[in-house]
Amino acid sequence: MEVKWTKKAIKDAQYLHSKDAESYRKLKELIAEIEKSPFTGIGKPEPLKDKLKGWWSRRINQKDRLVYRVSGKTPQVLEITSCRGHY
């Protein structure tokens, strides 16, 4: 599965990498889980509503969420838009 990051998501991940090693480790774990099973598994995956319909969220920690969507058939593309804060 190809992974695409928005500029904001890249900055979010860099922040977690430099300031919160445990959350960065969890982020990598969640991405690996999404590649196996996009809509079930760890992090309490939940579909988002309203203007974020089609996007999903998983918990990184108490305050941060990974916001993503999976598109395409083969190969699938994982698009990450945010991984810090809430949506």
User: Other CB atoms closer than 10 Å to residue 26's CB: what's the count?
Assistant: 21
**Residues recognised as catalytic:** 46, 86
* Burial grade of 37 (CB within 10 A; 0-12, 13-18, 19 or more): exposed
List the one residue out of 71, 19, 46, 16 whose CA is nearest residue 80: 71
User: 3-state DSSP call for residue 9?
Assistant: helix
d(CA 3, CA 20): 22
